Chain A
Amino acid sequence: MSDDRDGDEHELRVSKIRNGTVIDHVRGGQALNVLAILGIDGSQGEEVSVGMNVPSDRLARKDIVKVEGRELSQDEVDVLSLIAPDATINIVRDYEVVEKHRVERPEIVEGVLSCPNTGCITTGDEPVSSRFEVLDDGVRCTYCGTIVREEIASLIDT
């Protein structure tokens, strides 16, 4: 992980991974929500390292999450962007970073969040995936129009 210029300090605290994903430059305090998005709560025995509120050049304080044995899907990266818009995703294979990308806010997030409106057609038994339009400051269900600005992570369909 020598590519991370502000990483020397926390490298001592968070160990390297062999294969998996490093999510860096997460806004300070959001690491646990990142894990929630990935559906990781430790119960499945995943190997996870978390650094919270470590000093960073780009963000005053950042969180960093390392997950062994798991590469993120595009859907997961899309939703991640809603709570961690500055994050960088490093895919690691055999201790080397083989891919590195910044997250981009998508225009639409499909099938990942569930609508909090219990009267919404997507929360019934219909064969339809949820779909949310991404607003500047939240997300909006394209079916019922419900807007969610806070605690988007709690809508993640696990």
Chain B
Amino acid sequence: MRHDHLITSKQLSRADIETVLDRAAEIDADPAAVADRHANTLLGLLFFEPSTRTKMSFETAMKRLGGDVVDMGSIESSSVKKGETLADTVRVIEGYADALVLRHPREGAAKMASEYVDVPLLNAGDGAGHHPTQTLLDLYTIRENAGLDDLTIGIMGDLKYGRTVHSLAHALTNFDTRQHFVSPESLQLPREVVYDLHQVDESATIREHDSLEEILPSLDVLYVTRIQRERFPDEREYQKVAGEYQIDADTLEAASDDLTIMHPLPRVDEIAPAIDDTDYAAYFDQAHNGVPVRMALLDLFLSEGGETDE
């Protein structure tokens, strides 16, 4: 990888992705081998939005590499409350840390912030924009469960605002995949994302559906995302729509036995708890994969001069 920052999955080539996933697999197999690799390294955590998994897994990843974190804390207790700009905040924290992880509610925040700092900056979510580190752990999980080539994947739920979906869809264009997008009409993929997918490959195999039924039997992977209440004008409308995009044992009767079900979590009621103990469920493994994948990313970005790929 030859990148100064990680802002969007669009910047990642197939070789970049494979470099990260291969490194993550090595680390996963033998975490002790890297336990002191980044001793005395500090990672700056700047989370302007709540986060559990992403923040804790970055913290875990840095500590498992022998380093530590400095955390801005919640925005209520920070200088942001006093009106400090993001551009100023990152320039200050850059002086404390060897790399930065940023989550921010505005689209384009990570790109802008990266223009103000020299240390590596990793985007941990910018509004409805991108979430490339989630994408890499998603790809790692897909590769482990179904393989990344000759893959048929269904991506279902809130495709409009779901940044994990936008990032994943871009990244999958590097592989031989057929992507089916399943959502209510009001939550379809933004036209910008569709435009990009076709820019990459005019014949990109992308289909949009309003129901899972017709495509479920053909899927190797079903990636489910949460449909958020606040996207709907009233509770009744939400209940009606959300109910159509839930997975339970009955839904899965039509699925292939080898189907892998993923979810970036947190879930509310998109996937019935009864599915958790079946062979379909990969979402907790997926969340755990956040640690080795983020260890691999930090290792690649923090290693002197960066790693190169061919």
Q: Give A residues with C-beta under 8 Å from B.
A: 117, 119-122, 124-128, 140-147
Contact indicator A143/B85 (Cβ below 8 Å)? no
Contact indicator B127/A119 (Cβ below 8 Å)? yes
Q: Mark B175-215, 1 if CB is under 8 A from A, else 0.
A: 00000000000000001100110000000000000000000
Chain B residues whose C-beta falls within 8 Å of the C-beta of A121 in the assembled complex: 86, 104, 106-109, 111-112, 126
Pick the residue among A117, A127, A143, A146 that contacts B111 (CB under 8 A).
Answer: A143
User: For the complex, what is the distance from the CA of A121 to the CA of B107, rounded to whole Å?
Assistant: 6
Chain B residues whose C-beta falls within 8 Å of the C-beta of A122 in the assembled complex: 108, 112
User: For the complex, what is the distance from the CA of A142 to the CA of B129, rounded to whole Å?
Assistant: 12
Contact indicator B87/A127 (Cβ below 8 Å)? yes
Chain A residues whose C-beta falls within 8 Å of the C-beta of B126 in the assembled complex: 121
Chain A residues whose C-beta falls within 8 Å of the C-beta of B128 in the assembled complex: 119
Would you call the interface of chain A mostly helix, strand, loop, or mixed?
loop
B123 to nearest A CB, angstroms? 12
A125 to nearest B CB, angstroms? 6
User: For the complex, what is the distance from the CA of A120 to the CA of B86, rounded to whole Å?
Assistant: 13
Contact A147/B195 with A119-B128, A128-B87 known, Cβ cut-off 8 Å? yes
Chain A residues whose C-beta falls within 8 Å of the C-beta of B105 in the assembled complex: 119
Contact A126/B192 with A120-B106, A143-B108 known, Cβ cut-off 8 Å? no
Contact A125/B107 with A119-B128, A144-B129, A145-B192 known, Cβ cut-off 8 Å? no
**Can you list 14 pairs linking A and B with CB atoms under 8 Å apart?**
A121-B107, A122-B108, A125-B83, A126-B85, A126-B86, A126-B87, A126-B112, A127-B85, A127-B87, A140-B192, A144-B107, A145-B107, A145-B196, A146-B107
Chain B residues whose C-beta falls within 8 Å of the C-beta of A145 in the assembled complex: 107-108, 129, 192, 196
User: For the complex, what is the distance from the CA of A124 to the CA of B83, rounded to whole Å?
Assistant: 11
Contact indicator B85/A120 (Cβ below 8 Å)? no
A139 to nearest B CB, angstroms? 12
User: For the complex, what is the distance from the CA of A121 to the CA of B129, rounded to whole Å?
Assistant: 11
- B10's closest neighbor in chain A, by CB? A145
User: For the complex, what is the distance from the CA of A126 to the CA of B84, rounded to whole Å?
Assistant: 9
List the count of A-B residue pairs having beta carbons below 8 Å apart.
Answer: 56
Contact indicator A144/B108 (Cβ below 8 Å)? yes
Q: Which 5 A-B pairs have the closest CB atoms?
A: A143-B108, A144-B107, A144-B108, A121-B108, A121-B106
The interface size of chain B toward A, counting residues with CB under 8 Å, comes to: 21
Chain B residues whose C-beta falls within 8 Å of the C-beta of A141 in the assembled complex: 108
- A138's closest neighbor in chain B, by CB? B195
- B111's closest neighbor in chain A, by CB? A143
Chain B residues whose C-beta falls within 8 Å of the C-beta of A127 in the assembled complex: 85, 87
Most A CB atoms within 10 A — which of B86, B108, B191? B108
User: 17 other contacts beyond A126-B87, A140-B192, with CB at 8 A cut-off?
Assistant: A119-B106, A119-B128, A120-B107, A121-B106, A121-B112, A121-B126, A122-B108, A122-B112, A125-B83, A126-B85, A141-B108, A142-B108, A142-B111, A144-B106, A144-B108, A144-B127, A145-B192
B105-121 interface (Cβ within 8 A of A) = 105-109, 111-112, 115
Contact indicator B191/A147 (Cβ below 8 Å)? yes
B232 to nearest A CB, angstroms? 18
Q: Mark B113-150, 1 if CB is under 8 A from A, else 0.
A: 00100000000001111000000000000000000000
Contact A120/B108 with A126-B86, A128-B87 known, Cβ cut-off 8 Å? yes
B64-119 interface (Cβ within 8 A of A) = 83, 85-87, 104-109, 111-112, 115
User: For the complex, what is the distance from the CA of A141 to the CA of B195, rounded to whole Å?
Assistant: 14
B192 to nearest A CB, angstroms? 5
A35 to nearest B CB, angstroms? 30
User: For the complex, what is the distance from the CA of A128 to the CA of B113, rounded to whole Å?
Assistant: 10
Pick the residue among A119, A126, A128 that contacts B107 (CB under 8 A).
Answer: A119
